[in-house]
Amino acid sequence: MLFWMKRADTDMSDIRVKICGLKTQQDITAAAEAGAAYIGFNFFPKSPRSVTIQEAAVLAAETPMGLCKVALTVNADNDTLDAINAAVPLDMLQLHGQESPERVAEVKARYGLPVMKVLGVSNAEDIQRIEAYETVADQILVDAKAPKDAVLPGGNGVVFDWRLLAQKKYWRTPWMLAGGLTPENVAEAIRVTGARQVDVASGAERTPGDKDPARIKAFCMAAGTPRR
């Protein structure tokens, strides 16, 4: 089995960035030009970053080749996932709810797409939960656990203690760091955690749901992503 080792001497020249919650063609162009590797379409209706299936279908069709198109869903049932996958040409599914390892495996088998499972972290026990998903998910996204009164499961601009990841020396699957990342703190987050992939939503916005091309560019540059 392949193990992904977390390196302390991270070379930032090959960091892969995911820009999540894109809503316009201008957002996608900004992400592509900045050198992002992934873009995320948010299908959680309560989010200010959400798009309809029809809107996402148009955006995905216009996305440049080479960008991985990710669908963010929260505890979505099969009918919802069926409708999304039937209309939107996707490359990956992101499960951002309370999906069990069994549900992750079911979704992966049903749609034949790589699955990224999001796990919220606020303490050492949360780090231990990751292991149960590493054998079923294709990628793990480590996010800050949402506050108890939060409406959104992610994208709240909350940062967790990155030092918690020092407890996890090896990974069985690729992983991505999220949670309150911004152009101002992403380089430090990479240094502390050894992350090879990072995700940003609120940290690249003017206001919730309104992406700022300048902050997208600044985030990718701070992460060390080569521009296209």
Which residues are known to be catalytic?
A: 20, 143
Token pair belonging to 67: 């960008």
